[in-house]
Amino acid sequence: MSASSSTSSTDSKDTFLYFAFGSNLNSKRIHVNNPSAKRKGVGLLKNYRLDFNRYSERWKGSVATVVPDQDEEVWGALWEIDVKDMDNLDRQEGVERNIYRVFHPTIHVELNETAFHSETDSSFNNKTSSDNETEPAFNNETSSHSETESSFNNETPPISVNTVTARCYELIAVDPPGSDKRPSVTYLDVVIKGALESKLPEKYVHKLRRIEKKDEGINEEMEDEGEEQEGSTDIMKGSISF
């Protein structure tokens, strides 16, 4: 595997890079508000962990964020988005309402031939445990980078490994200690589908499947309703995607 130690934002004046780790892993979700988004590869955010720290009425459960943690890492999708969509993305993440804040971490990204233009891969097959399995703490089984790298997109030879600077979002409006931090079954399903679509490492998808979740959620049949109404349960519409 060839590697490059250079660091680059790879942004042009017309586009920027965005690292997604929650529902925006899912191409259907991100394209609602950011139609210009193009998948560029799979990224790894080191020294952070995935967590769920704020209840969302829309999702009926807690939503994802990243939290500094020297012993952990978060896999996600790297998207290239037109600058004209940046305000849409900020609005979606509730930046103006001080729900999430923007930061620009270094992302380790492995680029491959299919990552530039592939939006879905319905044939992606990974063997995981039943969705009924749960673990109380998401980060109990975190593997090292070397362990997960072997399962990363084995079918396509990598072009290069780089570090890039990307736009990312972390929660600043979090629920108090002791709150129910479990995501809803619907939210977690959207995240897992996006992880499969993004071809995140099998071990990481396995961990996502084992996150303890709330049984309540949004009816999947509401997914494609076009009209947004107060209290709508359309999971692919509206602001705050997380």
| 21 annotated to a ligand binding site | yes
CATH code, 7-217: 3.10.490.10
| 124 annotated to a ligand binding site | no
CA 133 to chain centre: 21
The strand pair at 7-8 and 158-165 is best described as parallel
| 23 annotated to a ligand binding site | yes
Quote the pLDDT of residue 13: 79
Quote the pLDDT of residue 215: 78
Which two tokens mark 230?
């107060």
Cα-based angle 156, 29, 11 (whole degrees, multiple of 5): 60
| 19 annotated to a ligand binding site | yes
Cβ neighbours, 10 Å, residue 216: 11
Closest CA to 105 of 32, 168, 52: 168
Task: Report the C-alpha gap between 119 and 103 in whole angstroms.
Answer: 26
| 103 annotated to a ligand binding site | no
Which two tokens mark 60?
């009926």
Which two tokens mark 139?
């980060």
- Residues assigned a catalytic role: 93
Q: What is the mean pLDDT of each run of 10 residues along the chain (242 residues)?
A: 42 87 96 95 97 92 96 97 97 95 93 40 33 39 37 42 92 92 95 97 96 70 27 37 40
Q: Mark 9-29 as b/e (b = at least 16 C-beta within 10 Å).
A: ebbeeebbbbbbbbbbbbbbb
Quote the pLDDT of residue 109: 83
199 backbone φψ class: left, alpha, beta (φ>0; ψ -120 to 50):
left
Given a contact cutoff of 8 angstroms between Cβ atoms, the answer to whether 21 and 78 are in contact is no
Quote the pLDDT of residue 12: 57
Give the phi and the psi of residue 208 in degrees, each rounded to 5.
-60, -40
